[in-house]
Each structure stands twice: as C-alpha cells, then as structure tokens.
Structure 1
Amino acid sequence: MTTALITGATAGIGSAFARRLAADGHNLALVARNTERLREQATELHDKHGVEAEVLAADLSTDEGIAAVEERLADRTHPVDLLVNNAGFGNKGEFLEVPMADELTMLKVHCEAVLRLTSAAVRGMKERRRGGVVNVASVAAFVPRGTYGASKAWVVQFTQGAAKDLSGSGVRLMALCPGFVRTEFHERAGMGTDNIPSWMWLDADKLVAEALKDLARGKTLSIPDPRYKALMGVVKVAPRGLLGGITSKTGRKYGPR
C-alpha cells in the first residue's frame, strides 16, 4: 500500500484529500497543528477504511515544524509516495493594513514550506522512479491579489518549473488552483462571504476527485471546474489594470482558496 502525506489535513481541501485517498486504500501521514483533531481524524479514517493513519503535529510557519515534516519525508524505510502541500491561510486587509509579521508568515507557509517539503519528498521519489506532489495554489495566482495571490503565483511557477526539470523521472508534480471552496478558510481569516454568488462555490470532495484525475493524466496545472476554467480564460485577455482594481477590493475581503 502506498502512503500519502497531507499538510493542513484536518480541514477543508486537506481533509477531503485524506478522505478520498483513504477510501482508495492509501495509508496516510496527516500533518496539522492540532494534535487532538489529527488523532480524531486518524482514528476515523482507520476505522472506516482500514488504512494506517499516522499523525504529525507541526506548525509550518516555524523552522522546527518544517524540519519535522522534512524528516518524515526523508524516511526511506517508510516512503511517502504522494505529497499534498495544502497548508495555507489568508490575511484580511489591504496592503500596509496587514502586519508585516503576518505577511512574512504567509510567505513562510505558502512558499518556503512548499519548496522545502517538495524537495525533501522528490529526492526519494526520484530514486524510486515513482511518486507525485500536489501543491495547492489558487486561482488568485492569476490575478493581482497582494501577498496571497503573489505567494500562490509562486507556487504555480515553482511547481511547473520543477515538473519540467523532472520530466521522465517517474515523478509527477502538479499545482492545484481551486476557486472558492466551502471550508473553514474564510472563517479563520475573518473574511465575509455573504456576497459571493452561490455558483462560485465548489465542493471540496468533487474538487479533489478532479484533481487526482488531472494528476493521473500528467497535468502540471489543475483548475478543476469548468466555471473557473472559463473565468481564467477571461482573465488571460482582460487588462491587468482592470483586474487589479477589481481584485484589490474583493480579493482581500473574500480570499479565494
């Protein structure tokens, strides 16, 4: 049985990945900050699907937390075959309203942790000539959206560049770019969602199912919904100045993830 390691595993997209992968028969290594929630999740998935589910409490905004997950990914005796870098968060507020410490923490989690954990996982995968990495980004990567959008744009560019370098190695890398997903993300960031049209909301379980299909197809970028694929097509041809004016007002309030 293969093992999947998921960061940010106890809620939202991470939890949906855990449910789907456990149902498909994968053993799990679940990473999040809350030990109690991790243990409850691991017990539930083990009892329901008969898979092994280990827990690793780690805060990816710290060097110690990142290093702990790096160590697990480097374990050759219990190799990880699929890494899902899902941990992330949003900051409410416009540029200069958000404390610099919070902006830097975001870059630590969204960029440094993704770089270090992907590197730690891929080394062993490359030796075994098999494996996959899903780095969860956002459609915010394609519009002017402050630090959040910039960090997710970095995830997309890094993932696709690394995927090209690893072509032919047996290791697949893919950036996953969802839109608005019904999770705890916005509530935790204190962001309002009342004015978001109902058609823009995605179901986390359906999103994960489409993402895994795209990974199996060898895609390096997944926008797992026809509605958002169409929107991103419009974004490509829209004037950047217009997009900046719209997203600077709405993005910081709602924070798509």
Structure 2
Amino acid sequence: MCYIILAKQMDNYDILHELDQVARNAARPGQPFTTQAEHMPETLNIIKANGGPTDTCWSLSFMNNIDEALADKFDLDKMKYIIGTPNLINYTACHDNKRLLARLNERLSGFDDEIFRRMKLAAIILTTSAGIPLIWQGDEIGDAISVDETDENKTKIKRPMHWNLLKNKRNRNLFNTFKYLFAFRHKTDSLRNGEVDFCYENIDDHVLVYRRGVNIIILCYFSNEKRINYTIENISTKANTIWIDILTNEYFIVNDRNTLVLTLN
C-alpha cells in the first residue's frame, strides 16, 4: 500500500500519478497493492475509476455523516452516498479526530446500551458499504479515550490498546460484532465487489434498506422509536423466502407478496 498525504495541498495529478507508478513498481511481484490519497474532503475525481491518479481516497464524508445519522440527524441522500460510493476508504474515526463513541457520548450523554447499539449499527454499515472499511485501533473494543483535535502533536502520541475494556460485557459484545462482520466481509465476495442496490427507503421513518448481491440484505433503522408490524415491500429479489439475521440468528419470512413485516427497535 502507498499512502499519499496532503494530496489536496499538492493539487497536482501529474505528480500523484508519478508517485503511484513509482510505488507500484517498487512493490514485490504479485503483492497486493493499492494507493490511497488523503484529500479532505474527498474528491471522486482523484480515483482511477474516474480518471484520477490513485486507487482510493479517504472519505471524510463517511465519518461525518455516520456521526450525524447515529445522533438522530438522519439525511437519506448523504447516507446513500457514503454507503453506495465505491473506491473510498470509509472510517468512523482516525488519529486526527475524536472517536465515534466519544462523539456520540457528547451528543447523547451516557455510555449506555443505546450508544453501544448505535456503535454496532456503525460497524454494520462500515463493513457492508461499497467502500473499503478502515478502523482506528481501539474502536472495535469500544475505546472512548480520544484526542484533542486542536493539539498539533496529536498524531505523535502513542495510544496503547486498552484491552481491559473487554472485561465489560458491552465492550466485549461490540468487539465480537466487529470481529464477526470483518470475517464475514472477507469471505463474502458480494460485500467486497459489486454495486449497492437500495431497495427500500423511508425518510420520515428513518429507514434505509439495501442489498449486496442476491443473498445479503442490510436493514438500517436510525431511530430509537419502537415500530411494531413495520412493513417493508420489495425487500428481496424473490418472494416466499426465509432470511436469517447473521448477528442474532433470528429468522424472518418474506411473504408471497415480497413483503417483510417486523418490529423495528
């Protein structure tokens, strides 16, 4: 991997293209290789798929918009952008910013079950979006010890893993969720390749559903309001099917009208 920082300040695609070629030629034969541009905010023009010089670009939009959505400021179009755009490096936090758990605590007040449920939703979206998932070490165990964003030396501070957090049930469950989802993505081709198919959306109810291939459906609910017998139409590519929640092992039936009825909470 070649990581090109200050791509925005450099503002020269010819130089970025040359750096990409030099780094690629220096890689070992047969070694997986990619170039990433740190361009804040991201620009899709810098990506090779759009005629640019690098393979990928860091997505500041993912971090900002997942933060807003999980803090009850749901924007449907922004969520569809960060979920459906390929060739972006998606992350919820990095060494330049406060951790997502810390930001949610500031917005919602309190490290309770609700905040950890929202962290799990962030992990689900991170690992099922079209982009490339990246985590800042510690996010997966629910570390909320964060950075002073105004500190010019913040990237030089050593930040050890606080493994003792795994003694807490909430943190252990969050870690197991991250671990399972990354393993599932690794073995599932349709999560790493192909387009995102948005099959249902309701901006008033804060619901967004999308498919990755024919066998994976992701249902996102950005609210803590309980909705009983909620109906989602055209959710599957085939009616009369049984679906299993891979995190809870619950069974759900899509009826002969290709409709799913369930409780959202």
Please identify which structure carries the higher helix content. 1
Q: TM-score, normalised on structure 1? A: 0.32
Structure with higher Rg: it is 2
